[in-house]
């Protein structure tokens, strides 16, 4: 263990930025490097006591009034440098809104000796002309060798106590690994993007549902959050008192998704988003899984003439017929189909959600599609077009989704229900064939 003096020597001289802040724009006010957790802690203490943290005012250095603000700890586990940079940029956009102590951890050279390189920064933002700057710290850590595998040991000493801990894990979180379990044991919220997971992503989805079951950990999945515009559009159909009775009489849920794989082979495309649609609907309607998702065999079904087309590009049916499952509300069964269509859209993107409901001999068919800026809803009652609506609902960016995840302070029962139902659809043994 190095002495404090030695640690100070090891740390590089901090750099400070004395330019006056621009209203609403984050500015880097402090930057230093350190090579041990103790050095980093020392640097963090120095930031707020530093006489150097001053700004130029008419050629004169004056002590700058800045308020250190932290509403939470945000731990980002980014396995690749470019991912770490992207996350840091997103977080910086939230400095004024959600100032946090952010710890970005990336690992390097896992087979080499253990080492640690830390960059400590303070970003400040001036929320209004008559208010002091609001500042928050970001600690960029790169850990080599064995050290990089002990995430909890790296993050825990740097956490501000009594503040909630959010772990943002872009990429592929190894949810079964001891390292992840240790880190998440103290966390309040896990933020992931299930739509970026490799393969079909469903096994990891199931693991995530297991992870949160009965625990205080709350999960925010960008893949599910992005679908809120779909959910609003689908829900709007049943705001109509004439259509509401059909809601409890669903017979079929079909979700069409984009694939780049002509064969439509299972596992070739991420299915998290399409399965979330079914999970959300089924959980809201209190349906139970009778038969989990399994691969549909046989020749590909042609899409209904004149109904499957997407402005995003050309589409044609994939060779595979996708997945099927059966749900039930105890009275009637609901067929579920998750089917691929070859499309120019990013693989795994939902292209269409179709609902079929039958009630007292009457049929209601709902068809929802989405573009970058709008969602389109059409409804046919007994074969007659009853509704044709466009909602203006732009696709949301990562900063908005992260802000939403942070702002949702509580456990959201709708998300939990959708996740658990999605996991139940996947089944304990994964998607069967």
Answer for which of 386, 396, 398, 420 binds other proteins (CB under 8 A) is 386
Binding to other proteins by residue 251, rule CB under 8 A?
Answer: no
Binding to other proteins by residue 164, rule CB under 8 A?
Answer: no
Q: Which stretch binds other proteins (CB under 8 A): 79-87, 200-208, 228-236, 250-258?
A: 228-236
Binding to other proteins by residue 82, rule CB under 8 A?
Answer: no
Residue 63 CA to residue 276 CA, distance in Å, equals 52
Answer for which of 306, 384, 410, 433 binds other proteins (CB under 8 A) is 384
Nearer CB in complex with other proteins: 9/242? 242
Binding to other proteins by residue 68, rule CB under 8 A?
Answer: no
Residue 101 CA to residue 188 CA, distance in Å, equals 15
Binding to other proteins by residue 185, rule CB under 8 A?
Answer: no
Answer for which of 281, 296, 421, 431 binds other proteins (CB under 8 A) is 281
Q: Which stretch binds other proteins (CB under 8 A): 8-16, 250-258, 299-307, 378-386?
A: 378-386
Angle at CA 135, nearest 5°, toward 132 and 141?
A: 170
Decide: 64 and 50 in contact? Cβ < 8 Å.
Answer: no
Binding to other proteins by residue 407, rule CB under 8 A?
Answer: yes
Scan residues 282-341 and list those touching other proteins (CB under 8 A): 284-286
Binding to other proteins by residue 90, rule CB under 8 A?
Answer: no
Q: How far is the CB of 407 from other proteins (least distance, A)?
A: 6
Binding to other proteins by residue 245, rule CB under 8 A?
Answer: yes
Nearer CB in complex with other proteins: 305/384? 384
Q: How far is the CB of 309 from other proteins (least distance, A)?
A: 18
Answer for which of 144, 393, 396, 430 binds other proteins (CB under 8 A) is 393
Binding to other proteins by residue 160, rule CB under 8 A?
Answer: no
Number of residues in contact with other proteins, rule: CB under 8 A? 50
SS (H, E, C) the chain: CCCHHHHHHHCCCCEECCCCCCECCCEEEEEEEECCHHHHHHHHHHHHHCCCCEEEECCEEEECCEEECCCEEEEEECCCHHHHHHHHHHHHCCCCCCCEEEEEEEEECCCCCCEEEEEEEEEEEECCCCCCEEEEEEEEEEEEHHHHHCHHHHHHHHCCCCCCEEEECCCCCCCCCHHHHHHHHCCCEEEECHHHCCCCCHHHHHHHHHHHCCCCCEEEEHHHHCCHHHHHHHHHHCCCCCCHHHHHHEEEEEEEEEECCCCCCCCCCCCHHHHHHHHHHHHHCCCEEEEEEEECCCCCCCCCCCCCCECCECEEECCCCCEEEEEECCCCEEEEEEEEEEECCCCCCEEEEEEEEEECCEEEEEEEEECCCEEEEEEEECCEEEEEEEEECCCCCHHHHHHHHHHCCCCCHHHHHHHHHHHHHHCCCCCEC
Q: How far is the CB of 88 from other proteins (least distance, A)?
A: 19
Answer for which of 9, 25, 344, 385 binds other proteins (CB under 8 A) is 385
Answer for which of 40, 47, 91, 134 binds other proteins (CB under 8 A) is 134
Q: How far is the CB of 390 from other proteins (least distance, A)?
A: 4
Residue matched to tokens 């096994």 = 203
Binding to other proteins by residue 46, rule CB under 8 A?
Answer: no
Taking residues 414 to 433 in sequence order and writing x for each that binds other proteins by CB under 8 A, - otherwise, the string is: xx------------------
Q: How far is the CB of 388 from other proteins (least distance, A)?
A: 4
What residue ranges bind other proteins (CB under 8 A)? 71, 94, 96-98, 127-128, 131, 134, 228, 231-232, 234-236, 238-239, 241-242, 244-245, 247-248, 281, 284-286, 359, 362, 374, 379, 381, 384-393, 400, 403-404, 407, 412-415
């Amino acid at each position: 263990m190095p002495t404090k003096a030695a640690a100070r020597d090891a740390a590089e001289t901090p750099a400070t930025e004395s330019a006056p802040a621009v209203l609403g724009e984050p500015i880097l006010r402090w930057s230093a490097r350190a090579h041990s957790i103790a050095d980093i802690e020392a640097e963090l203490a120095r930031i707020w006591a530093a006489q150097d943290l001053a700004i130029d005012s008419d050629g004169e250095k004056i002590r700058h009034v800045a308020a250190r603000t932290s509403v939470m700890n945000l731990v980002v586990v980014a396995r690749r440098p470019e991912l770490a940079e992207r996350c840091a940029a997103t977080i910086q956009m939230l400095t004024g809104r959600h100032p946090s102590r952010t710890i970005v951890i990336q690992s390097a050279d896992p087979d080499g000796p253990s080492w640690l390189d830390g960059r400590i920064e303070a970003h400040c933002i001036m929320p209004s002309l008559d208010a002091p700057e609001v500042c928050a710290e970001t600690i960029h850590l790169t850990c080599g060798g064995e050290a990089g595998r002990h995430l909890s040991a790296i993050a825990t000493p740097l956490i501000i106590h009594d503040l909630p801990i959010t772990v943002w894990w872009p990429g592929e979180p190894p949810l079964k690994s001891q390292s992840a379990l240790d880190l998440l044991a103290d966390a309040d919220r896990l933020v992931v993007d299930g739509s970026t997971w490799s393969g079909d992503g469903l096994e990891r989805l199931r693991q995530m549902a297991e992870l949160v079951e009965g625990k205080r950990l709350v999960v925010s999945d960008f893949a599910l959050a992005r679908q809120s515009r779909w959910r609003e559009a689908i829900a709007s159909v049943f705001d109509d008192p004439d259509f509401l009775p059909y809601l409890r009489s669903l017979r079929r849920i079909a979700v069409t998704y984009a694939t780049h794989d002509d064969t439509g082979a299972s596992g070739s495309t991420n299915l998290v988003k399409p399965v979330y649609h079914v999970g959300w609907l089924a959980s809201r309607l209190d349906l139970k899984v009778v038969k989990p998702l399994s691969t549909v065999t046989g020749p590909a079904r042609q899409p209904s003439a004149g109904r499957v087309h997407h402005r995003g590009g050309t589409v044609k049916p994939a060779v595979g017929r996708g997945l099927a499952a059966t749900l039930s509300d105890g009275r009637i069964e609901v067929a579920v189909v998750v089917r691929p269509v070859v499309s120019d859209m990013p693989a795994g993107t939902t292209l269409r959600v179709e609902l079929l409901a039958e009630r007292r001999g009457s049929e209601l068919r709902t068809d929802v599609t989405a573009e970058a800026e709008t969602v389109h809803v059409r409804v046919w009652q007994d074969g007659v077009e009853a509704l044709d609506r466009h909602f203006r609902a732009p696709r949301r960016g990562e900063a908005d989704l992260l802000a939403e995840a942070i702002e949702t302070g509580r456990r959201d029962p709708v998300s939990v229900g959708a996740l658990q139902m999605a996991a139940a659809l996947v089944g304990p043994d994964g998607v069967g064939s």
